């Protein structure tokens, strides 16, 4: 068993860390409070290779693998979780197009995601009436001359307004998982309207909108993968996406622990720094231990994916544990800050708000438990 990182993994992590510390972190709180989408920073991240870490070089990626991706995601999320979620979805979309797309589809879209020509990619699965029960989706794709007519609404779509391309799931057949097909939808497709930006509790420097399809036309070659096989495309993409969100959550948790540690050294109560009170020490120790355990689970899932082994269960375990851990760690960091945690001058209120969604998107904690239990029982 090998715990050392390769040179490439160290390089990617250092690149992400340097960028995060110098460029992302300084304005992260301000951007989040104002709800400013960071176009320019995202373009710079693409230039550094961060939008296609596990994408082949010939499509503009850096082909550094899933462990490197996970490490980079932790570094970016530690500085700015809003930017991290945009990066996570863009990487997931680029990988999904590489895995299921035709050469034409890959060459049309993937280099534009990895180069930053597209500000992001989007993943349009969730609908107003279905989130966890993804195979109940109701958006329809009806065959017409030379293509498909799409009708329906997608909800809570990260980067939906700014993405150059979205992967869309729509019903082409009967009910259930086998009636679903995946499509590629370029920005500005006629018949596609973008809803108003959601006013979110956290991650406000990321873009979340609905995508409304009203008789939108997609050509026949917009299908991603095979007709009727779209649900498996979504599930496979989400398995990988869950490693991304688990890494993001771990990064947020690390930021919260650092903030708590630093505050506990400065702030004095009862004649000594907080860090010398056992009640605080135990909170810090629990947070550090849980974050380390989460990190190992996440990197294990990343390693399994990277080495082409089954990783669905480990990705769900990593997502479940890392996101629940991040919430506990942020809550402790907040508690350690006392009243100062509650005001915007300190970053812990942002960490707490940003961490909250990680147990929900890309599959709730309850869905992760369902996936884990099903695979466990199946044996």
Please list the active-site residues: 362
CA distance 169 to 211: 12
CA distance 256 to 265: 14
- Shortest separation between residue 100's beta carbon and ligand COS, angstroms: 12
Nearer to ligand COS, 28 or 238 (CB): 238
- Give 91's contacts (C-beta < 8 A, 6+ positions apart): 51, 52, 53, 54, 55, 69, 244
Nearer to ligand COS, 26 or 176 (CB): 176
Nearer to ligand COS, 187 or 229 (CB): 229
- Shortest separation between residue 241's beta carbon and ligand COS, angstroms: 7
Neighbour count for residue 110 (Cβ, 10 Å): 28
Contact 280, 113 (CB under 8 A): no
CA distance 126 to 287: 33
Nearer to ligand COS, 48 or 375 (CB): 375
If DSSP codes are grouped into helix, strand and coil, which group holds residue 207? coil
- Shortest separation between residue 272's beta carbon and ligand COS, angstroms: 45
Nearer to ligand COS, 336 or 371 (CB): 371
CA distance 250 to 329: 10
- Give 307's contacts (C-beta < 8 A, 6+ positions apart): none
Contact 213, 153 (CB under 8 A): yes
Q: What is the secondary structure of 94-125 as a DSSP string? A: HHHHHHH--HHHHHHHHHHHHHSSSS-EEEE-
- Shortest separation between residue 60's beta carbon and ligand COS, angstroms: 24
Length of the chain: 379
- Shortest separation between residue 146's beta carbon and ligand COS, angstroms: 29
Q: Interface with ligand COS by CB under 6 A: which residues?
A: 123, 125-126, 131-135, 177, 231-232, 235-236, 238-239, 312, 361-363, 367, 370-371
Neighbour count for residue 356 (Cβ, 10 Å): 19
CA distance 5 to 106: 30
- Shortest separation between residue 86's beta carbon and ligand COS, angstroms: 13
Nearer to ligand COS, 240 or 253 (CB): 240
């Amino acid at each position: 068993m090998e715990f050392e990182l390769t040179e490439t993994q160290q390089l990617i992590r250092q690149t992400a860390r340097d960028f995060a510390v110098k460029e992302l972190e300084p304005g992260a709180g301000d951007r989040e409070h104002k709800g400013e989408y960071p176009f320019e920073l995202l373009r710079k991240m693409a230039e550094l290779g961060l939008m296609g870490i596990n994408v082949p070089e010939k499509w503009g990626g850096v082909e550094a693998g899933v462990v490197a991706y996970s490490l980079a995601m932790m570094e970016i999320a530690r500085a700015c979780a809003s930017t991290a979620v945009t990066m996570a979805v863009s990487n997931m979309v680029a990988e999904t197009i590489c895995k299921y797309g035709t050469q034409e589809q890959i060459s049309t879209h993937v280099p534009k995601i990895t180069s930053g020509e597209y500000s992001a990619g989007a993943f349009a699965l969730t609908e107003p009436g279905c989130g966890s029960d993804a195979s109940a989706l109701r958006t329809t794709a009806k065959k017409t001359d030379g293509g498909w007519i799409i009708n329906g609404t997608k909800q809570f779509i990260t980067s939906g307004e700014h993405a150059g391309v979205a992967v869309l799931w729509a019903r082409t057949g009967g009910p259930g998982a086998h009636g679903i097909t995946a499509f590629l939808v370029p920005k500005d497709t006629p018949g596609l309207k973008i809803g108003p930006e959601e006013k979110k509790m956290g991650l406000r420097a990321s873009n979340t909108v609905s995508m409304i399809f009203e008789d939108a036309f997609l050509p026949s070659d917009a299908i991603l993968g095979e007709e009727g096989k779209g649900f498996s495309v979504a599930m496979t993409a989400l398995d990988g996406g869950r490693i991304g969100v688990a890494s993001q959550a771990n990064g947020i948790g690390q930021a919260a622990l650092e903030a708590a540690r630093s505050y506990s050294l400065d702030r004095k109560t009862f004649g000594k720094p907080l860090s010398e009170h056992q009640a605080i020490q135990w909170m810090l120790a629990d947070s550090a231990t849980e974050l380390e355990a989460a990190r190992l689970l996440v990197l294990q899932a990343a390693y399994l994916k990277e080495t082409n082994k089954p990783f669905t269960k480990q990705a769900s375990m990593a997502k479940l544990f890392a996101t629940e851990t991040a919430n506990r760690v942020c809550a402790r960091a907040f508690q350690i800050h006392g009243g100062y945690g509650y005001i915007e001058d300190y970053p812990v209120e942002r960490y707490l708000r940003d961490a909250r969604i990680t147990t929900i998107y890309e599959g709730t904690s309850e869905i992760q438990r369902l996936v884990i239990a099903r695979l466990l029982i199946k044996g």
